[in-house]
Amino acid sequence: MAAEPKAPSAADYLIKPDTVIEANGEGAALELGALAGKRVVIVLRVDEIIEQESLHVSIWGSPDGQEWGAKALFWYPQKFYHGAFPAALDLRQRPEIKFLKARWETNRWGRGYPRPFFKASVEVQELPSG
């Protein structure tokens, strides 16, 4: 069951902090509100990860929070280690985008724990003018 879209604060989340990820999935739609048509920074944080696995996160845009199209706005490179990974997303080029959503794919290989395990988040906020 998908959560209702919500308006962003100074920093909001496409994936909430400390979210446990053990399979492919997606976060709730985030209504951009005042961030629509602006430059934003999205920060993927991988707080926990076990060896021999990868996390591949993509960011999707929608004009209505229902139709997400066939192509992501942005893909992070696959992550194999913990850390914070910022990226800029220029929504000025896509003024029709009013909602964002994160999707993720997991992969696990080798011995040990049979399922992937990550704790991760994706934060979004306006990119300051510089």
Domain ranges of the chain: 12-126
Distances in whole angstroms, Cα of residue 88 to Cα of each of 20, 33, 66, 72, 128? 25, 18, 24, 14, 11
Class of domain 12-126: mainly beta
Contact assessment for residue 33 and residue 99, using Cβ atoms and an 8 Å cutoff:
no
Contact assessment for residue 36 and residue 5, using Cβ atoms and an 8 Å cutoff:
no
Per-residue pLDDT tens listing for the chain (130 residues): 444 444 444 579 999 999 999 999 999 999 999 999 999 999 999 999 888 999 999 999 999 999 999 999 999 999 999 999 999 999 999 999 999 999 999 999 977 778 889 999 999 999 887 5
Taking the CB of residue 44, how many other CB atoms lie within 10 A of it?
23
Of the candidates 93, 83, 94, 71, the one whose C-alpha atom is nearest the C-alpha of residue 121 is: 83
